[in-house]
């Protein structure tokens, strides 16, 4: 899967999304881009709030855009900071990405391309809730 991903396109898309970030408090804009299984590019940016705990990470707005755009599963993911450098999703966002991953999902990390399972091993997901009310 990783060899089929246009990483340059994802980097450009994430950088473009970062340009729309609302980060007046931290001055730390973040952009994210994902490639879906069906070939769409979905993006998101961080949206801060004066009540810091209500801030939305770029991954959160990306998942919202994914759902609003018809849903789907993420095949590849890329996240950047204000300088365009690769960022790793925080733990909360790794869990969010895990929920919407396609089998074999890959993401660009500061150490190169890795699988979702490598960056969130032994994750808890929807498969653990099957059969529960």
Residues labelled catalytic: 59
Reference 57, options 82, 30, 88, 78; nearest CA is 30
Q: If DSSP codes are grouped into helix, strand and coil, which group holds residue 31?
A: strand
CA distance linking residue 24 with residue 4, whole number of Å: 37
CA distance linking residue 80 with residue 109, whole number of Å: 10
CA distance linking residue 130 with residue 34, whole number of Å: 27
């Amino acid at each position: 899967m990783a060899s089929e991903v246009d990483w340059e396109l994802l980097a450009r898309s994430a950088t473009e999304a970062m340009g729309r970030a609302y980060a007046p408090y931290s001055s730390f804009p973040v952009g994210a881009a994902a490639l879906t299984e069906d070939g769409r590019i979905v993006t998101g940016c961080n949206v801060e709030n004066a009540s810091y705990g209500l801030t939305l990470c770029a991954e959160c707005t990306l998942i919202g855009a994914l759902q609003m755009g018809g849903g789907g599963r993420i095949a590849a993911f890329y996240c950047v900071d204000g300088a365009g450098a690769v960022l790793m999703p925080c733990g909360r966002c790794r869990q969010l990405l895990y929920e919407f991953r396609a089998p074999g999902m890959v993401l660009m990390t500061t150490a190169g391309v890795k699988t979702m399972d490598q960056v969130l091993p032994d994750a808890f997901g929807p498969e653990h809730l099957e059969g529960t009310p």
